[in-house]
Structure formats: structure tokens, C-alpha cells
Structure 1
Amino acid sequence: MLLATKSLSFIYGVSLVVFAAIFATTTSLQSRRHAALFVFGDSLYDPGNNNFINTSITYKANYPPYGETFFRFPTGRFSDGRLISDFIAKYAHLPYWEPYLAPGQHEFINGANFASGGACAIADNNPNVLSLEAQLSNFKEVVSLLKQQLGDAEAGQILTNAVYLSSIGGVDYHIFSDQYPNATESEMENYVQVVIGNITNVIKEIYALGGRKFAFQNVGPLGCSPVAKQLNNLTKTECWKGTLSLARQHNRALVTAAKELEIQLPAFNFIIFDYFTTLMNLDCNPFKYGFKEADIACCGSGIYHASDCGIGDYELCKNPNDTS
């Protein structure tokens, strides 16, 4: 699974910075205790939606050692505990996420989490999971249900007051880098524009349904991840330049696209959490943030433990709190 690119416990430390960044610049959730939060994304945000789709074990995290630190059992989250989206929900006084696809009754006045581990902005890149487009379709079902239950006016108010949080694109770039390791700068730029274009189209559709407040998490330093190092036989100090370049291009293009939407769409508000810089700082200075190891994942196989956590013959760090 691609989230094995980071030590599982890194999610906790990064999460604290995420909600500090998000809630320092928007008061929507703080001032409206029960404002809804709708979440879209990949394995960084997936609370277990992949448990309920027909896909391989590679795209699931419903087996040990996932979940061992906080929930004490595997929930489908690609972490030893809570995810970034869980900490944000807690900070916003919302309950921990149940997967949108989990059977049973759901209370959508608090929002919903549609994220799917391995998800892509380009649907054809990974048909094994829920693409961003598929997540949008699920959101539309929630909008329809809210209108049926509450009426158009009340449902519209919930949708307008809500925050729309997303993290998507990283898997697209891993796939492109694997398929085109010798891609030219022009080819990479064109590909980034396709990814950003798909994200922008989804944002516009959410806006048309009432969304006004958007929080984006940009793409991390993909080329410096354990999986990039392991697949490309790199040393600890090396990064895979192609994937790293794609991440940087994506993050610049995301800012440009968001600013253009701010001009085009009345009352459109956005913030972007710089996940790239935060994670790069952790990679370069692990001791500063209380970690002993930043280049080797906490769970998995291979020289950097970058794949198959919980599957077959894998290794597990003794203490996820310091990745020792």
C-alpha cells in the first residue's frame, strides 16, 4: 500500500500541524460547533472505506498491526492509530469517522468521509478503489439524502457552512513515475495539469452543490519516501528526482488553481496545508520532532520496510512513538 511510504506514527505528529494550520486560518468549524466536514482523499484520510469494496488485500488495512496504538484493533485506517482527518474531526468537536460505505444508519449532518486508500484524481489510474470522481458521486448521494430528510433550505445551509477537506494526487504521481521513469519536464507538466484539472472539476461540482469553504492538503515529498527509495535502490540521503519534481509542480499548480477559483467563484474560500514542507522537515530533522528514524517505515518488508505491512514476512518497529 502506498501509505507505507511513511512511518505509521508520523501521521500523529503531522496531524497536529495540520489542524493548527487549518483552524488558524478559518473559524468556520470553531464558531459553528456542529458544522459539517466532508472529506475526500486517499489512504492519508481513509477511515476504512476500502473494507467495503471488492479489492485486494493490498488496498486494505483491516488486519494487524494496523490500529494497534489507539483503537487497539484494525479499523481499515492505514496507520497504527488515528489519521489526520480524525484529529481534525476531534478538534472540530465531531465524532471519529465511520467509513461512508459502512453499512447501517449514518448521521450526515456532521458530514462524511469518502476517502479511499489508493485513490487517484485520474480515475483510470487505479480502478481497484474509489477514485476522486467516485467519491464525488457518493457525496452527491449524501446531498440528495440530506435534502430528502431536511428540506432544501436546511440542507443547503449545512452544505454552505461545511468545510470540504481533501488530500489527493500522490498516488497519481507514483503511478506516472513508475510507468514513465524517463519522462521529460514537458510530459510531467502536462500530466500535472491533467491531475489538477480533474481536482478543479470536482471542486466546481461541490461548489455548485453549495460548498464554499475548502481546505486542501498538498502532496508530500514523494521522491523522498521509503517506497521511492526502496523501488529505486536509493540510499537514505537520496530522493527520486522525477517523483519529487512532480510533487513540487503539483503543489505550485494547486495554489494557482485555487487562486483562480477564488476569482471565478463568488464566496469561494480556501486554505492549503503545506504537507510537503512539514513532512520534509520531519525527514530532514527527525530528532527535532522526537523521532529516531525518518527514512524507514515502521511496518513492512524490504530494506526500507516500504511494502506489505502485515502481509507475509514483514518487520515491525518496537515503538511506533519513536520508530525505534
Structure 2
Amino acid sequence: MASCMASSLFLKHLLLVVALPLLISSTPAPGCHDSIISFGDSLADTGNLLHLSSSDGRPTEAGFLPYGETYFHRPTGRFSDGRLVIDFVAEWLGLPYVAPYYGDDGGRSVADFGKGVNLAVAGATALDAGFFEGRGMGNSFPNESLGVQLGLFKELLPSLCNTSSGNFPIGCLPVYLTEFQSSDKEEYDPLTGCLNWLNEFSQYHNEQLQRRLDHLRELHPRANIIYVDYYNAALRFYQSPDKFGFDGGILSACCGGGGTYNYNLSALCNSNARVCDDPSSYASWDGIHFTEAAYRWIFKSMADGSCTVPKLDISCPSVAFE
């Protein structure tokens, strides 16, 4: 049985993964899109936690190399070696990378939000901090929950022009494979090596989410709400890693502190960590987040419509990505 400490770590990281990005386009002229509004956690954060950490004196690992080494050649606050899915979406739409809401001093950024704004903060949860504190779970979660982000968005609405979250196969992530290693072979998928029970939980989460989206479609028939199937978009890596160029070790992190999956909670990805020579040959960057190469493949699955319900149509004048 997993220890209480391991269970606590699992809950924290699980919440981090579950609070996935929400991308909403404004209502532009037919055939084009004016802006992107992003909500979520480290899977979509383009610098918010970095600026918040700089203002309170608590540095974040995403502010140092090797984070950002592949594309930007410097740390930008993104929790990957390069671009995230939201960056590929922006490129695809011909828009600039979505500016973080927070600036260098932790206050509102001076960036022009006319082309969109990113409210995602690494470590953010779907539920407010009070929920966890009231259950004796401490206050280790940043007070940047989805509710807080939506509140900031409402404040921004007057200054913006016209204005829901599939989960990855988390049983394949090095962080969980390390924390819940088992000698029971039946707990693992014989094809991928992923933990069955965690992937089953992801699938259950996604089923419930799609039911809620169906309900939202009934309530808002004029809105075009699209579900992105992150689970199957990413599962392909683990089923056929060679097809996607992931020959460095599909279940191991590129940057980490050693061990079976190159993930060690006491030696996370930093300038002293063991970093792979070619991040593009790995799907996992630091055991929790994906590499730029993996995010690119996930984006392609979204853009070609193979992992969206209904099929994504870029020509639609109003689109929401969940």
C-alpha cells in the first residue's frame, strides 16, 4: 500500500495534471481568429509562475536552464524544453505567443492583451485553496485556481474584444511510474508499460467531462464547443514510440535525477540534473510535463481533427478548444 506521503504527492501532481488548459478564441471576422484566452496550469503556463515567483523571492525551476533550451534557448517560464500546445495553436492561427497575465513584479503585465492573454499558472488547481485547507491538506497549492483565473478574465472582459478539459494518460508519466512502482505485473499494460489503474482513472475523468460538454451544448446550441482527446493523442506515443521518433526511452524523463524512469522527487530537473542529448527523442521532459516534440504531435492530432469531437474546423468564426 502506498504511504500517506506518496498519496499526498499523487494528489498534488494529479491536480496539476487535471487542471488542463482552456483555450477560447474571440469572435473575429469570418475565416480568421483575433485572440486566444488561456486558463490552466503548467501545461499551458507561458510565464505566469515565473513572474509571480520573482516577485516573492521563491524561484521556480522553469526560470533556469535546461528549461527552454530547445526552441527559445533560454528559460521563459514554460515547463518544457521548448514550446507548448498553446504555442503551436498560436502559430497555427497566425497569432503571437499568448502573453502571460502577470508581469515581472507579479502584477498585471504591461503586455497588450488585444491578441489574447494567458491566465494559466503552474500548480493551479480546479478547486480553490480553501477547499484543501478546510480538509487539513495544507496550503501548498498556489492561490491561482481556475476560479481565480476566471475572475481575472471577467475583470479583463471590458478591455478585450468579443469573448471545457481532456486528461492525458497519466499512468504513463514518470512521476507516477516512480511513485507507484509495483512488483505486480498485472498493474501494468503489457503493451505500453503504463499503470492501468491510473489510465483507467483518466478515462473515467474524460468520460464525465464529455457528458458535461454535451450538457453545455444543449444549453448553448449556438456555441461551437470542441473536445480535444488528449488521452488518445498521447497514448499513441506509448503504443508505437518508434513511429513518432521517441527512441530515447518512452517512459523515461529527458531531464531528471536518475532512477528507473529518470525521475527523483528529491533531485528534480535543474542545471545539475541528468539531461538527455536529444529531447526530441523523448516524450517526457521532466517526468511531469512533455517535451516540445510531444506537444507538437499532440497539436497535430488536434489540428487535423483526428482527436477532436467534433472535428475541428479552423474556418469557423467562433471556436473553443477544451
Answer whether TM exceeds 0.5 for this pair.
yes
Q: Which runs of 5+ in 2 are unaligned?
A: 1-8, 14-22, 133-139, 284-322
Q: Per-residue deviation at 1:239?
A: 3.3
Matching residue's letter, 2:171? G
Q: For residue 282 of structure 2, what is the aligned residue in structure 1? A: 323
Mapped to 2, the partners of 1:27 and 1:73 lie a distance apart of 31
Q: For residue 194 of structure 2, what is the aligned residue in structure 1? A: 239
1:274 maps onto 2:229 in alignment: yes
Q: For residue 218 of structure 1, what is the aligned residue in structure 2? A: 166
SS in 1 for 2:157: helix
Instruction: Label 1:264 to 1:273 Cα distance change in 2 as closer, same or farther (>3 A).
Output: same
Is the Cα–Cα contact under 8 Å of residues 291 and 321 in structure 1 kept in the other structure? yes
Mapped to 2, the partners of 1:48 and 1:297 lie a distance apart of 22
Q: Which runs of 5+ in 1 are unaligned?
A: 6-21, 147-154, 160-215
Mapped to 1, the partners of 2:241 and 2:29 lie a distance apart of 31
Q: Deviations over 1:34-66 (max 9, x none)?
A: 422111111111101001224796854111100
Instruction: Label 1:59 to 1:268 Cα distance change in 2 as closer, same or farther (>3 A).
Output: farther
Q: Per-residue deviation at 1:254?
A: 0.8
Mapped to 1, the partners of 2:128 and 2:197 lie a distance apart of 22
Q: For residue 34 of structure 2, what is the aligned residue in structure 1? A: 35
Instruction: Label 1:59 to 1:270 Cα distance change in 2 as closer, same or farther (>3 A).
Output: farther
Matching residue's letter, 1:319? D
Instruction: Label 1:56 to 1:301 Cα distance change in 2 as closer, same or farther (>3 A).
Output: farther
Instruction: Label 1:317 to 1:282 Cα distance change in 2 as closer, same or farther (>3 A).
Output: same
Instruction: Label 1:269 to 1:92 Cα distance change in 2 as closer, same or farther (>3 A).
Output: same
Matching residue's letter, 1:142? L
Q: What do you get for the CA RMSD once the two structures are aligned? A: 3.1
Mapped to 2, the partners of 1:238 and 1:57 lie a distance apart of 36
Q: Deviations over 1:163-219 (max 9, x none)?
A: xxxxxxxxxxxxxxxxxxxxxxxxxxxxxxxxxxxxxxxxxxxxxxxxxxxxx5410
Q: For residue 317 of structure 2, what is the aligned residue in structure 1? A: none
Q: Per-residue deviation at 1:268?
A: 2.5
Matching residue's letter, 1:318? D
Matching residue's letter, 1:50? L
Matching residue's letter, 1:134? V
Matching residue's letter, 1:251? N
Identity of aligned residues (%): 32
Mapped to 2, the partners of 1:298 and 1:129 lie a distance apart of 30
Aligned residue pairs total 238
Task: Report matched runs for 1:102-117 at 5 Å.
Answer: 102-103=103-104, 104-117=109-122
Is the Cα–Cα contact under 8 Å of residues 59 and 118 in structure 1 kept in the other structure? no
SS in 1 for 2:38: strand
- Of 212, 216, 222 in structure 2, the residue corresponding to residue 261 of structure 1 is 216
SS in 1 for 2:37: strand
- Of 137, 144, 162 in structure 2, the residue corresponding to residue 130 of structure 1 is 144
Instruction: Label 1:320 to 1:234 Cα distance change in 2 as closer, same or farther (>3 A).
Output: farther
More helix by share: 1
Q: Deviations over 1:106-162 (max 9, x none)?
A: 22221111111122112235532521111112211211334xxxxxxxx3xx21xxx
1:301 maps onto 2:260 in alignment: no
Instruction: Label 1:121 to 1:58 Cα distance change in 2 as closer, same or farther (>3 A).
Output: farther
Q: For residue 176 of structure 2, what is the aligned residue in structure 1? A: 228
Q: Deviations over 1:263-290 (max 9, x none)?
A: 1124222111111011111012110111
- Of 107, 120, 126 in structure 1, the residue corresponding to residue 125 of structure 2 is 120
Mapped to 1, the partners of 2:49 and 2:232 lie a distance apart of 29
Task: Report matched runs for 1:105-254 at 5 Å.
Answer: 105-124=110-129, 125=132, 127-128=141-142, 130-146=144-160, 155=161, 158-159=162-163, 216-234=164-182, 238-254=193-209
Matching residue's letter, 2:278? N
Mapped to 2, the partners of 1:59 and 1:119 lie a distance apart of 14
TM-score normalised per structure 2 = 0.65
Mapped to 2, the partners of 1:75 and 1:43 lie a distance apart of 12
TM-score normalised per structure 1 = 0.65
SS in 2 for 1:53: helix
Is the Cα–Cα contact under 8 Å of residues 97 and 113 in structure 1 kept in the other structure? yes
Instruction: Label 1:67 to 1:77 Cα distance change in 2 as closer, same or farther (>3 A).
Output: same
Q: Per-residue deviation at 1:97?
A: 2.4
Matching residue's letter, 1:314? A
Mapped to 1, the partners of 2:262 and 2:244 lie a distance apart of 21
Instruction: Label 1:313 to 1:65 Cα distance change in 2 as closer, same or farther (>3 A).
Output: closer
Q: Which moved more, 1:229-238 or 1:277-286?
A: 229-238
